[in-house]
Amino acid sequence: MRKLICSSLLLFNILLTTVFAQEPLKSVDPLIGTAHARYFHFAPGAMPFGMAKPAPSTNGSLGNKSGWEATGYDYRDSSIENFPNFHEFQIGGVALMATTGVLQTIPGNMDEPSSGYRSSFDRKDEVAQAGYYSVLLKDYGITAELTSTERVAFHRYTFPQSEQSHILFDIGNMMGESGKVKDAEVKINPDGTVEGYVVTAPVYVEKYQAGADIRMYFYAVPSKQAPRFGVFQGEQITNDVTKVNGISSGAFFTYSTKKNEAIELKIGLSYTSVDAAKANYLAEAEGLDFDSAKKRNQKTWNSMLGRIKVEGGKDEDRTKFYTGLYHALLGRGLASDITGTYPKNDGSVGQIALAKNGKPVHHHYNTDAIWGAFWNLTQVWAIAYPEYLSEFVNSQLLVYKDSGWLADGIANSKYVSGVGTNFVSLVIASAYLQGIRDFDVALGYEAALKNELEGRDRPRGAGKLDVDRFVKNGFVPHIDESDNEIHESWMFSASHTMEYSFSSYAVGQFAKALGKTEDYEKLNKLSDGWKHLFDPELKLIRPKSEDGTFVENFNPSQAWRGFQEGNSYQYTFYVPHDAKGLIDAIGKEKFNIRLDSIFIKAEPLEFGGGKTIDAFSGLEGMYNQGNQPNLHVAWMFNYSGKPSLTQKWIQEICNKFYGTEGIHGYGYGQDEDQGQLGAWYVLGAIGLFDVAGLTKPEAKMGLSSPLFDKVTIALNPKYYQGKEFVIKKKIGKATGTYIEKIMLNNKAVHEPFIPLEAITSGGKLELEMGNTPKDSYN
């Protein structure tokens, strides 16, 4: 059996690298949506899910006051300060820069690039691809290039003729979301290699796990030794010294270069130690040069992106599609070393179990909060990348074993919950229910159940600080004012009730599947929590006080009063596990009229915050594609007898909210959140989506109109029986927005849904399209 599985995996990889060839990578544009983008959004030098994420920074050294604002690279900027190698949620640092002329050791001011080592650049001199980046630093005449292996960043700087060509390691300064620097060290070894570390205190780490910090280590190997070198702290330069400690620490190398002389650097990275960074370098990069690493990197991107092949359709839709899929595979990054060592929650170093071949049985990853990811990322992972969904679950269970709680968002295993909820239990449950079970199921269930029901001694970083009130009352009672500075513990009563109801349902299904009848009954009852807050007169979700009365002075458009990053109009539709129950409560006709009118009103605002460049624009609108609470809503017409409206509005959102520009990419500067909005586009463009986030035992994918003539999904044989699943518009009737007839494996389908199992078993979905809305498939 083992030989059979290995043979199947080999054939699977051959299929991906030959049949799907080079096309997917050519359609990726990493510059899309980089205006007002989060720090981890733009890392073109990275590999899928890689640790090494080299990229240019235009404003990352300016910091990040609240921990979440846009920082790092902004499409509107015209100068580059340096090239950091770590790009994760709350993690950034180990920056390099190349210059000529008088040595400068601070980045300088954006308004006056000459005040530091910063350089101006032109967009025409910039190349950004999946796995590769290059740019001409105009002020120095230097071409900078970036690529990587999984844990090793590759830099290549091509210099002009100069007696003063410099490479800087700027280690001890703030970068992106990393927060203030607590300590740093840089050491130049006798053989010319460079090693060191930086310790930072990100805002969200301080917020959710006070006293903890983030540690980043590196080991760098330049291709040429420098005749002159030294260290610096800020603007204080010390020549011929090989070691420096403290904030603002760095090192420099000065060369005499010929015209077009290239110097390469390979930088092994780690979150555990310099020795591990060196081991990562030796294992992955010792025998590679820049061009070989780039070729390997981009071959991997083509293979991963090629698991979903699209044909036909518009070129701009293809660009949006593969860029969205690229972001879905870029957002989370490795946190474990080649040997399986990883940073533990308490700051020590852990060891992942090793298989008989000496390799770790799984990897560990950094990750932003999973809030809303069940409507985009986890569905894409489950269908096309089930091995990563498995790794995600195993990774999260490491933190549970080490700390006693599921941690939602993690930076080096430290708690960075972000939104104060915790949906990791839902993801564990959905993975199990859909057959992805190569994790410790007993431990996974224990962790998931605890996450849903226990509030005692719950650390802030585990989120759900009001879950005990939900369990006690069946809903979270509203509090209008409190002296408690931890807002998520009291401020979002209604949205938390809706969210906890959903996750209770998911874990309840997990319990039922395992024969845990008592737990199932308790959780299933809690899943009806949304009904407590449903106002039968307004037909809206409305916060309720502990005495059972609805709050007064109620404004359905108001955000931040009972609702997190949204309002009553938006959260009323947050019943993904019981869509038909919500439709019955509102009334089918009223439901359809209301929901359709919401999209009619949202369309002039491009289904978000209009052209306002801000992550939070649209929070008080009736629909906001730029934030997580809304992302399933357009698919709910499939449950209310109006699938044609799902087909209409999904296409309109894909066409108008999503763009192909630096400023208009994911709305206008709205929050892409580690690939979530990109993954949503992927699902919308191929016409598959589960409102319930794959939490039902016999999950069904809702259908919409694909943007492409043919979609081929390659299935992983380790997890699924089928070889591939094909979605095809029937020849001769490939025009029109609306689905007229549905055929699955040559059999008529009479509803706008197909089982997930039909996809993972392999087969063909054929759709006859037309210009007239059709709502019945009998």
What's the token pair of residue 761? 């078993």
Instruction: Quote the pTM value.
Output: 0.96
Q: What is the pLDDT of residue 731?
A: 74
| The amino acid at 627 | N
Q: What is the pLDDT of residues 481-508, one digit of tens each?
A: 999 999 999 999 999 999 999 999 999 9
Task: Report the alpha-carbon angle 444-447-450, nearest 5.
Answer: 145
Instruction: Single out the residue of 756, 697, 761, 698 nearest to residue 514, CA to CA.
Output: 697
Whole-number pLDDT of residue 1: 43
Torsion of CA 249, 254, 258, 264, to 10 degrees: -40
Write out pLDDT tens, residues 353-388.
999 999 999 999 999 999 999 999 999 999 999 999
pLDDT-derived band at 64, boundaries 50, 70, 90: confident
pLDDT tens track for 647-672: 999 999 999 999 999 999 999 999 89
Instruction: Reply yes or no on whether the pLDDT at 743 is more than 60.
Output: yes
Q: Tell me the per-residue pLDDT of 255-277, one tens digit each, with 9 for 90 and over.
A: 999 999 999 999 999 999 999 99
Residue 320 CB burial class (10 angstroms; 0-12, 13-18, ≥19): buried
Which residues contact residue 120 at a Cβ distance below 8 angstroms, ignoring those fewer than 6 apart?
A: 78, 79, 113, 138, 139
pLDDT at 772 over 50: yes
pLDDT of residue 397: 98
- Residue pair 145/125 in contact (Cβ under 8 Å)? The answer is no
| 18 pLDDT more than 80 | no
pLDDT per residue over 96-143, tens digit each?
Answer: 999 999 999 999 999 898 999 999 999 999 999 999 999 999 999 999
* Cβ–Cβ under 8 Å, residues 747 and 725: no
The type of residue at 542 is R
One-letter amino acid of 314:
K
DSSP 463: -
Alpha-carbon separation of residue 168 from 186, 224, 251, 624 (angstroms): 11, 14, 6, 43
pLDDT band at 68 (very low <50, low <70, confident <90, very high): confident
**How many Å apart are CA 704 and CA 645, to the nearest integer?**
9
Distance CA 127, CA 143 (A): 11
Exposure string over 388-411, b if 16+ CB within 10 A, otherwise e: bbbbbbbbbbbbbebbebbbbbbb
pLDDT score recorded for residue 20: 41
pLDDT band of residue 19 (cuts 50, 70, 90) is very low
Residue 435 has pLDDT above 60, yes or no: yes
When pLDDT is cut at 50, 70 and 90, the band that residue 730 belongs to is confident
* Lowest mean pLDDT segment, chosen from 8-12, 146-150, 738-742: 8-12
Q: Alpha-carbon Rg of the chain, whole angstroms?
A: 26
Provide the pLDDT for residue 438: 97
The residue among 560, 539, 564, 559 whose CA lies nearest residue 550 is: 539
User: Residue type at 643?
Assistant: P
Average pLDDT score over the chain: 95
pLDDT at 688: 98
Q: Which long-range contacts (CB under 8 A, 24 or more apart) does 632-637 make?
A: 632/375, 632/573, 632/576, 632/689, 632/691, 632/693, 633/570, 633/573, 633/595, 633/598, 634/599, 635/689, 635/691, 635/702, 635/704, 636/573, 636/579, 636/583, 636/595, 636/691, 637/592, 637/595
Distance of alpha carbon 778 from alpha carbon 775, whole angstroms: 10
pLDDT in tens, 600-636: 999 999 999 999 998 889 999 999 999 999 999 999 9
pLDDT digits (tens, 9 = 90+) for 158-180: 999 999 999 999 999 999 999 99
296-348 pLDDT, tens digit per residue, is: 999 999 999 999 999 999 999 999 999 999 999 999 999 999 999 999 999 99
What is the per-residue pLDDT for 735?
77
- The alpha-helical segments, DSSP class H, found in 183-307 are 203-208, 274-284, 290-305
* Residue 163 φ then ψ, to 5°: -90, -5
Is the torsion defined by CA of 505, 511, 514, 517 positive or negative? negative
**Strand ranges (DSSP E) for 150-292?**
152-159, 162-170, 180-188, 194-201, 214-222, 228-233, 236-239, 243-245, 249-257, 261-270
- For residues 223-243, give the mean pLDDT: 98
Judge contact between 267 and 152, C-beta under 8 A: yes
Q: Which pLDDT band holds residue 5 (cuts at 50, 70, 90)?
A: very low
Of the candidates 327, 291, 391, 370, which has an alpha carbon nearest to the alpha carbon of residue 53? 327
Reply yes or no on whether the pLDDT at 391 is more than 70: yes
Q: What does the pLDDT read at residue 2?
A: 44
Query: What pLDDT, on a 0 to 100 scale, did the predictor assign at position 140?
Result: 98
Give the pLDDT of residue 14: 47
Encoded tokens for 473: 């009352």
